[in-house]
Amino acid sequence: MNTDPPDVAATVARIAAVVGPQGIITDPRDMEPYIVDWRGIYRGVAPAVVRPASTAEVAAVVGLCAETATPVVPQGGNTGMCGASVPHGAGQIVLSLARMNRVLDVDALNNTMAVQAGCVLADVQQAAAAADRLFPLSLGAEGSCQIGGNLSTNAGGVNVLRYGNTRDLVLGLEVVLPDGRVWNGMRSLRKDNTGYDLKQLYIGAEGTLGVITAAVLKLFSRPAATATAWAAVPHPDAALNLLALLRRHCGDRVTAFELISRNCLDLVLRHIPGTRDPLEAIHEWYVLADLADSHSGHALRNELEIALEAALEDALVADAVIAESEAQARALWRMRESIPEAARAEPGMLYRHDVSVAVSRIPAFIREARVALEDLFPGVDVICFGHLGDGNLHYNAFVSGRYRSDATAREAHDVTDLVYDIVQQYRGSFSAEHGIGLAKVDEIRRYKSPVEIELMRTLKQALDPRNIMNPGKVL
């Protein structure tokens, strides 16, 4: 039964006239994939899901929403982790960019490509590869997340160490403003100091300031050779020093450097079929590292081997394997990438924290947070893995089965407050990769200074005075 007020129905009818029957969904069954988030935690309701086919249609739809004060929730691939991409409150329209999925232009000599916001990340990577270039953004959801969603969450992934976050991979944007006007900032310039860098405002804004409809992305040389190593390290301090050593030996060729605790590996071996321990003995910690170079050949593998031998001599590494083929490299990465899935399969409560601190302080943070957690929650397991090279850890507390039945919201708060308070003492971030959305609005109020919150509110008020863009998210 439709419980929306009649003016919402009238607005939906006017929107339908703009986008045509192909561009609108109102049947509740067909709207289902758009109103529940990827983790299945947040479920909203919507009078319609709108799927415009062009920037002009997006502008017309948002213009109508502005006129009628109808809230708009922009949506990409709906793979976000914070509930930001689904409606939250009555009468909110979901605006999906899925039909705007064209690569507009590839300029190989300028190392840029222009794409519509609804392009799936894997398709963007492929279009770059077809022009013998690399678009380096890479993450587990790349088969379904969209570049507009990546931009709006400033997505990270596994290549940040070498190429930066999404923010660093953009030269231009096209944005439909909350009043329906279009800002065409589709510049492909590497140098442009003509006032405020407006595009950076919309990147990481989680759809609260406007709808990104297109972008100009940076491309890079495609690596001709890669080398992958799985190394056992005695403790996180050794991992940190191994990173420094690798960089001394191999410079910028280090593209990924991931830290993995033994219990992560145990979970993977237990729950993910076809996996096996890459090393003979059991070790407490591991590093998974990638090197890449635009020159092909044996040199890269040799370089990695020499660096690892030096690390063995310095007792930074206890044992290591270098992948002998692409298939072996993929198998090693599969161990790392299936940790979240394996953790989900284990009975018990998992409290997830996607945090960052200065890279140099990672070992101290891991130690201090573990001691504090074990003190308060005897029997807790810290499932720690992530992008050590970026100072970003997925620092998860696992409270095993026996606690499960009496696990309460209180416990969740106690665990996360404890971890985030320590992060705060380290001047770190309580959300390094995944954003704020609905999930972390309490935290943003707790951990950002009043001045910072006030600046953010001032921007939101100036750019979206009627608060129609993704209301209730972030601030």
84 binds ligand FAD, rule: CB under 6 A:
yes
159 binds ligand FAD, rule: CB under 6 A:
no
Near ligand FAD by CB under 6 A: residue from 92, 228, 416, 470? 470
Q: Which residues inside 402-441 make contact with ligand FAD, applying CB under 6 A?
A: 433-434
152 binds ligand FAD, rule: CB under 6 A:
yes
Q: Which is nearer to ligand FAD, 91 or 148 (CB)?
A: 148
Q: Which is nearer to ligand FAD, 71 or 278 (CB)?
A: 71
116 binds ligand FAD, rule: CB under 6 A:
no
Cα of 467 vs its chain's centroid, Å: 25
- Which pair of tokens denotes residue 379? 């029997």
DSSP label of 469: B
What span, in angstroms and rounded, lies between the C-alpha atoms of 384 and 393? 7
Long-range contacts of 267-271 (CB under 8 A, 24+ apart): 267/339, 267/342, 267/343, 267/345, 267/346, 267/383, 268/335, 268/338, 268/339, 268/342, 270/342, 270/345, 270/346, 271/341, 271/342, 271/345, 271/346
The radius of gyration computed from the CA coordinates of the chain, to the nearest angstrom, equals 23
356 binds ligand FAD, rule: CB under 6 A:
no
Contacts with 222 (C-beta within 8 Å, 6 or more apart), sequence order: 129, 132, 133, 134, 294
Report in angstroms the alpha-carbon separations of 324 from 144, 303, 338.
30, 14, 21
338 binds ligand FAD, rule: CB under 6 A:
no
Contact letters (x/-) for ligand FAD, 61-80, by CB under 6 A? Answer: ------------xxxxxxxx
Q: How far is the CB of 262 from ligand FAD (least distance, A)?
A: 22
Near ligand FAD by CB under 6 A: residue from 49, 66, 98, 117? 117
Contact letters (x/-) for ligand FAD, 210-249, by CB under 6 A? Answer: -xx-------------------------------------
278 binds ligand FAD, rule: CB under 6 A:
no
87 binds ligand FAD, rule: CB under 6 A:
no
Near ligand FAD by CB under 6 A: residue from 47, 87, 157, 471? 157
How many residues bind to ligand FAD according to rule CB under 6 A? Answer: 34
Q: Which is nearer to ligand FAD, 113 or 316 (CB)?
A: 113
Q: How far is the CB of 403 from ligand FAD (least distance, A)?
A: 26
- The number of helices, as runs of H, and strands, as runs of E, in the chain is 16, 19
81 binds ligand FAD, rule: CB under 6 A:
yes
Q: Is 305 helix (H, G, I), strand (E, B) or coil?
A: helix
Q: How far is the CB of 437 from ligand FAD (least distance, A)?
A: 6
- Which pair of tokens denotes residue 49? 């899901």
Q: How far is the CB of 222 from ligand FAD (least distance, A)?
A: 21
Near ligand FAD by CB under 6 A: residue from 153, 159, 228, 416? 153
161 binds ligand FAD, rule: CB under 6 A:
no
Q: Strand 72-75 to strand 354-356: parallel, antiparallel, or no bridges (unpaired)?
A: unpaired
Buried b (16+ CB within 10 A) or exposed e, 307-340: bbebbeeeebbbbbebbeeeeebebbbebbbbbb
What span, in angstroms and rounded, lies between the C-alpha atoms of 12 and 392? 43
Q: Which residue is nearest to ligand FAD (CB)?
A: 149
Q: Which is nearer to ligand FAD, 223 or 435 (CB)?
A: 435
DSSP label of 273: T
Report in angstroms the alpha-carbon separations of 195 from 190, 192, 214, 394, 462.
15, 9, 21, 37, 18
Footprint on this chain of ligand FAD (rule: CB under 6 A) = 38, 73-81, 84-85, 97, 117, 139-141, 145-146, 148-150, 152-153, 155-157, 206-207, 211-212, 433-434, 470
